[in-house]
Structure formats: structure tokens, C-alpha cells
Amino acid sequence: MDCMQGLDSEVKEGGANMSVGQRQLLCMARALLRATRILVLVGGGGAGEGGGGGSYDEEAPAVIEAARPPKGWPSQGAISVQGLTVRYRPELDPVLKELSFEVSPREKVGVCGRTGCGKSTLMMTLYRLVEPCGGRILIDGLDIGAMGLLDLRSRLSLVPQDPVIFSGSVRSNLDPFGQAGGDADIWEAIKRAGLEDMIKGLDKGLDSEVKEGGANMSVGQRQLLCMARALLRATRILVLDEATSNVDNSTDSLIQRTIRTAFKDCTVLTIADRLHTIVDSDRILVLDAGTLAEFDTPAALMRNPSSHFRGLVEEVIHGGGGAADVVADAFASATGYRLE
Ligand SMILES: Nc1ncnc2c1ncn2[C@@H]1O[C@H](COP(=O)(O)OP(=O)(O)O)[C@@H](O)[C@H]1O
Ligand SMILES: [Mg+2]
């Protein structure tokens, strides 16, 4: 099965390390940027190659006139997840199981848990790349399942694990529909995202070509470019799925700094594989096999010797490496003693 079908065959080979859902996400991002109005997601995640193996689910309409969110929605950025249950196919067990939690406006929430616990699925459900089979998600009190997909997706910003960059100029990647006020606005967003030096270092500034797949940019830089796009669109909610491939330390800390400064008035969910990137979140949500294990401040979770989070922290510290120091420092300041 391949979600690239019917979209764009020029997308680079190399999805081997991506989940099917992740590939769907990338397909979706591409479709959005190209203003596609109808997208068919190939349902199911099995290996059935071509030949009618998969079922084809048509997506919800882009716009539902009777359920359009008001202009400026979401103005606060409050997220309420209520009894959310998600499965990829009817015969499979749910991947998210009656998940309920509330995120306050402007809150910075780190989402963690072991590989396969459902972090990316949660992100995809927020963007409705997967539809829940139970429960719902409200954003500023509106049920996101009731509105059209374009109305939803144009009001959220999503930074995938390995963003697809289009061949074209920096400008067309940041402002594909020419909706920004002008170059000054684009530069402002670039500056706030911390990419000014990099873009200025390119031969033609905003007119510089970025290569298909972003070959001349690192994964972290591509994520920052997505963040600059989000700043330009001034969305209230940012969801960032941390890059799984190694991001160099300076880009890593640039991403964290951008979240704290440029996105300080936004609600940010950071899905983290590396704990040190979320130890200073307002709260940390720990998923365990699709259920909510913990949702509390990092300090409270670290002080609790039996928390899941503390277990994950101890694994990082005992594992050594550069990140261990950052996590150990955060642990020490939360608990008053240092784990060795
Ligand atoms: N398209 C899919 N079809 C079937 N199962 C899937 C699909 N995508 C993910 N899964 C399964 O759902 C579970 C959660 O995956 P995921 O949300 O990617 O976890 P995480 O991001 O926490 O590593 C895993 O068991 C994964 O194998
Ligand atoms: Mg994931």
C-alpha cells in the first residue's frame, strides 16, 4: 500500500523509515500547499500492494458551510481531548484508547512515551489525517470533527518529523499562496524562527532555490522553515513532531528557543523522542500504549520516584551521551539531587 498513489509520483523514494501514517501526513501537507481540493487517502496500513488491496476512504469536505468556524478561530488555543479512541482499521486494536486531557491556551506541552505508544497518531488525529472512532477533540470549544478539513487545517500549524520542502524559492515555500503582506513580513517570520543567517547565506535570499526534498537543508532547518511558515500565518496552535533523525545540537536548541520566544503566545504540542527537548515544557503528557499515563509538570513527574516519566529520564541519564547532561541538570533542579 502506498499513499503516494494519486498524489505525486516525484516524491523522493525513502519512506522506508516512515510509518504509513507519516507518509500520509506528508502527502497531505503537499496537497494542502498545492491547494488540492479533493484528496483520497488510502485507508488501512497493510502491505497490500496496488491491485485493489486497500479500501479507499473519501475525506470529509474541505468546507462545510453550515459548520464554518468563525474568523479568527481559534483565538485562544485551548484544546480539549475527550474520550478519544482511534484505530487504523476496524479489525485492529485501537492505538489511542479513550484518551482525555485538556491543554490551556498558550501552554507548552511535551508529549512523550515509547515508540509506538501513539504520539504521532495523536498529532494526525488533531489534523484529521485519521478520524477517531470514539470521542472528540474541541479547540476553543468547537468540535473539530464537525467542520471542513480546510477550515481545520488552515488554522493549525503542523511541523512533521521530516518536512517536505518543494523545489522552488524560499519565498514560495513560505508563502505558497502569496498571502503574506510582503517580503518584510516574510523576513520577519524568518528572523523570528532564527533562520535569518541561513537564508541570508543563500545566494539569492528569498529567491534562492531550495531543492526538491530540501536536499540543501538539514531536517532541523526544514522544521524551522515550517515554523517560519506558521509564524507568517499567525496560527494559534503549533504541533511539532520532533525529527527522529539526528539534529545537530545548535539547530536543536534553536528550535527550542523559537518555541519559547516566537511561539510564546501560541499553544504548542511538542511530540518528543528526545526527552531533553521537553524537560522545560509547562507540562508533560506521557502516553503508554495509547492511554494517558501521566500529565503533569516536569518537576512533579521527576520528583515522583515511580512515575513513568522518571523512568524514562533515568534511562537517558544512565545511557550517557550529550543529552544525559541536560536531562540530569533538569532532574537536579526539579528534585534537588543528582542522579548518577
Ligand atoms: N497506518 C497505520 N496502520 C496501522 N497501524 C498503524 C499505522 N500507523 C501507526 N500504526 C500503529 O499505531 C501505533 C502507534 O503508532 P504511532 O502513533 O506512530 O506511535 P509513536 O509516534 O508514538 O511512535 C503503533 O503500534 C503503530 O504500529
Ligand atoms: Mg512518531
Domain assignment of residue 313, given as a range: 77-333
Within a domain: 300: yes
Q: Count Cβ atoms below 10 Å from residue 201 Cβ, excluding itself.
A: 10
- Who's near 309: CB < 8 A, 6+ residues apart? 112, 284, 286, 294, 298, 301, 302
| pLDDT value of residue 47 | 29
Phi, psi angles (nearest 5°) of residue 37:
-100, -25
Q: Sort strands 56-58 and 40-42 into parallel, antiparallel or unpaired.
A: antiparallel
pLDDT value at residue 112: 96
Ligand index nearest the alpha carbon of residue 19 = 1
The ligand minimizing its distance to the Cα of 130 is: 1
Positive or negative, the CA dihedral 213, 172, 121, 77 is positive
98 in any annotated domain: yes
Nearest CA to ligand 1 atom 24: 116
User: Which are the contacts of 172, defined by CB distance < 8 A and separation ≥ 6?
Assistant: 166
The CATH number of the domain holding residue 169 is 3.40.50.300
Has residue 2 been placed in a domain? no
**For the whole model, what pTM was predicted?**
0.82
Task: Count Cβ neighbours within 10 Å for each residue of 56-81 and write b for 16 or more, e otherwise.
Answer: eeebbebeeeeeebeeebbeebbbbb
pLDDT of residue 324: 86
Question: 295 lies in a domain?
Answer: yes
Q: How far apart are the first and last CA of the chain?
A: 47
Are 262 and 192 in contact by the 8 Å Cβ rule? The answer is yes
CB proximity list for 103: less than 8 A, separation 6 or greater: 78, 79, 80, 81, 109, 267, 269
The verdict on the CB of residue 179 being under 6 Å from ligand 1 is no
- Evaluate: CB of 214 within 6 angstroms of ligand 1: no
Reading the chain (340 residues) residue by residue, the pLDDT tens digits are: 344 444 444 444 444 445 555 555 555 555 555 444 344 443 333 322 232 333 346 678 999 999 999 999 999 999 999 999 999 999 999 999 999 999 999 999 999 999 999 999 999 999 999 999 999 999 999 999 999 999 999 999 999 888 888 788 999 999 988 888 889 999 999 999 999 999 998 889 999 988 766 667 889 999 999 999 999 999 999 999 988 777 888 888 899 899 999 999 999 999 998 888 898 899 999 999 999 999 999 999 999 999 999 999 999 888 887 788 888 888 888 888 787 7
Query: In ligand 1, which atom is closest to the CA atom of 114?
Result: 22
In a domain, 53, yes or no: no
**Residue 46, pLDDT score:** 31
Residue with CA closest to ligand 1 atom 16? 118
Give the per-residue pLDDT at 329: 86
- Beta carbon of 221 within 6 Å of any ligand 1 atom: no
Residue 212 in contact with residue 166, Cβ under 8 Å?
yes
- In a domain, residue 66? The reply is no
In a domain, 22, yes or no: no
CB atoms within 10 A of CB 193: 29
Q: Is the CB of 95 under 6 A from ligand 1?
A: yes
Closest CA to 242 of 123, 328, 130: 123
Distance 56 CA to ligand 2 centre (A): 24
Q: Count the domains in the chain.
A: 1
pLDDT score for 244: 74
Closest ligand by atom to 114 CA: 1
- Is residue 245 assigned to a domain? yes
